[in-house]
Amino acid sequence: MSTPSHSAPPAGSPVEKNDFIRQIIREDLASGKHATIHTRFPPEPNGYLHIGHAKSICLNFGIGLEFAGPCNLRFDDTNPSKEDLEYVAAIQDDIRWLGFEWSELRHASDYFEVFYRSALKLIRDGKAFVCDLDADQVRAYRGTLTEPGRNSPFRERSVEENLDLFQRMRAGEFPDGARTLRAKIDMGSGNINLRDPAIYRIRHVHHQNTGDAWPIYPMYDYAHCISDALEGITHSLCTLEFEDHRPLYDWCIDQIDLGGHPELWQPLVEAGLKTTISKPRQIEFSRLNINYTVMSKRKLMALVNEGLVAGWDDPRMPTLQGLRRRGYTPASLRLLADRVGISKQNSLIDFSILEGCVREDLDANAPRRMAVIDPLKVVIDNLEPHHEETLTFANHPKNETFGTRSVPFSRELWIEREDFMETPPKGFHRLVPGGEVRLRGVGIVKCVDVVKDGETVIEVHCTLDPESRAGMPGADRKIKGTIHWVSARHAAPAEIRLYDRLFGVADPDNDEGGRDYHECINPDSVRHVRGYLEPAAAGADAEQNLQFERLGYFVADRRDHRDGHPVFNRTVTLRDSWAKPA
């Protein structure tokens, strides 16, 4: 087994985290119950991971980091009809991007023979039976939350008949849905999960790892606990919706008794697959819920398949691939997981908390550059037509270790159109006819003329006060407004994608009044504009995060950005534009 490898937690994280799960682990170590803590992250490869999974990844791999124990990546590949190798590759990419590395890579399909042998044991012990009821009949027999269920008419089949039928299921004799293997527990249980749940179903489906070897596949609740036990998992951490499944988890572990029946997992020994039998403890915690988004895989899949977004990595999607392309950093998501914390209480996190985490990280770590996304031409009349000079700017105003860069300056500039107004409202401290403003790093300019095409301003003429330049006597003259700019002669045209929240309402899952989440999509969730960048911004590497001064945080697109064709995605604005006025 390789040594677990993890990246360091982001700056500002507590050295020792203290939540109820970590408290349990510390007590288990102190009592000698476990010498080593072993966790796992068990995704199903039936879609891309979303931000909710980031919390689980940070918890499971973080536990490994903090307690010097291994953390496995195990793919729950028990439903091949919905799974794809594309998702497998993306999941591995996401985990590594977040800064973690698994100790071992496992698949539930590694254990198919063990699952089968364990099912045969349950049948021989009188704890499982083959049932011929179809799905609708099973639901009818199951009962409700207030009424007990009824025994299947096939529940009392003999052990011999059950063994014969299950082995014939394994041989592929029956069509899909004809029969299931069900655990024989208690149809009168107050926990519906214990009312003789299915543990195997017939599916004649090709599997990505096992091919056509298996026409039957185990159910998640059955396969998951056995997988945990085979891998020596000590603490099986999952979200609160599995709390009612825990009695079934424990029932399977106890009834199968892998520790007392090594013949069940002998195939793994013969295959050279390391096996350490444990009795894992399932512990549930609250999932990460964020408003202004949906995290149902079904709905995310629909957004992709219906062309409402540009794929799983669309920067508006809450998938980890989408967040990465949007410019969210691994450190910002780890910081979010720290801030949200681990508890038993379900809660809804405001989207602004996520945005605040990435702002905090990028404020400290993103170099500054100048860009203009809605350009208006400015001509400085008292400079020579071919005037050109190079100015020196700090790459980060708060951190000298970022160094400096050279920025070209010339007579003609691009500024933001919103930085000029002919008839400004009270409190407008930018450029106006006859008014003055400071050009960032240059000096003070005064508007002396305006060129228009109809009602549209197309050019603003100014004069530069030479006494206001750096090192001159008037450099400290007080002016309320400062604006940024880009030299028109040296500017690099760029595609700028202005992303915002995909949904315009806080709870797009709310279907009251017949409303569908499709109707909640924010029509302004993306705008494509042509802007201009200073040369140092255009030369950024793909996935480099930058702050475009006064505009927000942006990232060079990981797919489309290239030399000669800069493409930047807005990660987040400098301030929360969705906050309600006080």
Among 93, 83, 342, which Cα is nearest to 235's? Answer: 342
Residue 447 near residue 483 (C-beta atoms within 8 A): no
Place of tokens 């980890």: 320
- CA–CA separation, 276 vs 35, rounded Å? 13
> Does the annotation place 55 within a ligand binding site?
yes
Q: How far is the C-alpha of 477 from the C-alpha of 475, rounded, in Å?
A: 6
- The answer to the question of whether 199 is labelled as a binding residue is no
Amino acid sitting at position 233: I
280 is in an annotated binding site: no
Burial class of residue 267 (count of CB atoms within 10 Å of its CB; 0-12, 13-18, 19+): middle
Contact in structure between 564 and 369 (CB atoms under 8 Å): no
Between the alpha carbon of residue 173 and those of residues 133, 460, 575, the distances in Å are 17, 82, 63
Which listed residue (155, 297, 339, 405) is catalytic?
297
Can you read off the two tokens belonging to residue 256?
């199968």
Please provide the DSSP assignment of 291-305 as one string: TT----HHHHHHHHH
Q: Which of 287, 430, 440, 477 is catalytic?
A: 287
Q: Is 220 annotated as a binding residue?
A: yes
56 is in an annotated binding site: yes
**DSSP letter string, 346-360:** --EE-HHHHHHHHHH
Is 295 flagged in the annotation as binding?
Answer: yes
Report residue 525: phi and psi, to 5°. Answer: -70, -15
Burial track 414-447 (b if 16+ CB lie within 10 A, e otherwise) = bbbeebbeeeeeeebebbbeebbbbbbbbbbbbb
- Amino acid code (one letter) for 288: L
**141 labelled as ligand-binding?**
no
Which of these, 504, 505, 509, 525, lies nearest to 294 by C-alpha position?
509
Assess whether 121 carries a catalytic annotation. Answer: no
Residue of 17, 44, 339, 489 marked active site:
44
Q: Can you tell me which residue has the tokens 């989440």? A: 517
Task: Report the number of secondary-structure helices (H) and strands (E) in the chain.
Answer: 14, 29
Active site residue 161: no
Q: 44 a known binding residue? A: yes
Return the exposure string of 501-538: e unless at least 16 CB atoms fall within 10 Å of the residue's CB, then b: bbbbbbbbbeeeeeeebeebbeeebbeeeebbbbbbbb
Q: Three-class SS of residue 268?
A: helix
Identity at 447, one-letter amino acid code: C
Rounded to 5, what percent of the chain is helix, strand, coil? 30, 25, 45
Q: Has 577 been labeled as part of a binding site? A: no
Residue 478 known to bind ligand? no
179 an active-site residue? no
DSSP string, 254-267: HHH-GGG-GGGGHH
Q: Using alpha carbons only, how large is the chain's radius of gyration in Å? A: 31
421 annotated binding-site participant: no
Residue 103 assigned as binding residue: no
Concatenated DSSP letters for 71-133? EEEEE----GGG--HHHHHHHHHHHHHTTEE-S-EEEGGGGHHHHHHHHHHHHHTTSEEEE--
53 is in an annotated binding site: yes
- State the DSSP H helix or E strand holding residue 499, giving kind and residue range, or none if neither: strand 492-499
- Residue 392, annotated ligand binder? no
* Binding-site residues for ATP: 44-46, 50-56, 239, 287-288, 295-297
What residues are labeled active site?
44, 287, 297
* Binding-site residues for L-glutamine: 76, 220
* Binding-site residues: 44-46, 50-56, 76, 220, 239, 287-288, 295-297
